[in-house]
Amino acid sequence: MSKEDFPGWHGTTIIGVKKGGEVVIAGDGQVSLGQTVIKGTARKVRRLSPGGYDIVAGFAGSTADAFALLERLEAKLEGLPGQLARASVELAKDWRTDKYLQKLEAMLIVSDGADIFVITGAGDVLEPEHDVTAIGSGGNYALAAARGMMDSERDAEQIARDAMKIAADICVYTNGNLTVEKITK
């Protein structure tokens, strides 16, 4: 099965918004398999505390693959406490070069409250230019909506919630059951 045929790529929206000294990562709860909704209340945004170091992560793609990546990220952070950027780069390098990891079908948005990154299986660790990033099937809708709200009076959480509502109204693989995690540094 090719990546284009993989059902997990067609189902979720995760957004990260950095504004006013905080970062909010929000994700919808829909799990789709092809054109069928399997579950509407999944938690795709999680708080991690490797070695007492608090981070928030959201994932799109295969759940099992995302959990494998989150475990590896936690292990990297155990060895590099307080260094999210470096741990993310190390994870991306492993993901790109390890034969087992190369097969994983997921993407991550991670934040420590100061920085926000998208980590991909192509070896990328991307820091958004405009303090907003999004992944998943509804990611571009949420990203565009959030970018349009960044100059408003809304805080990071309200921007994330409003952008996710817009994405859920447009993307059939995204619902309005949100998990929202806020982190400050």
Closest by alpha carbon to 84, among 7, 3, 173, 16?
A: 16
Backbone angles phi, psi at 130, to 5 degrees: -115, 25
Query: If DSSP codes are grouped into helix, strand and coil, which group holds residue 110?
Result: strand
Closest by alpha carbon to 136, among 69, 59, 32?
A: 59
Catalytic residue among 12, 13, 133, 174: 12
Enumerate helices (H) and strands (E) in the chain, giving the number of each. Answer: 4, 11
Closest by alpha carbon to 41, among 168, 181, 179?
A: 179
Query: If DSSP codes are grouped into helix, strand and coil, which group holds residue 49?
Result: coil
The answer to whether 174 is a known catalytic residue is no
Cα gap 160→154, rounded to integer Å: 10
Q: Are 17 and 141 in contact (CB under 8 A)?
A: no
User: Catalytic amino acids?
Assistant: 12
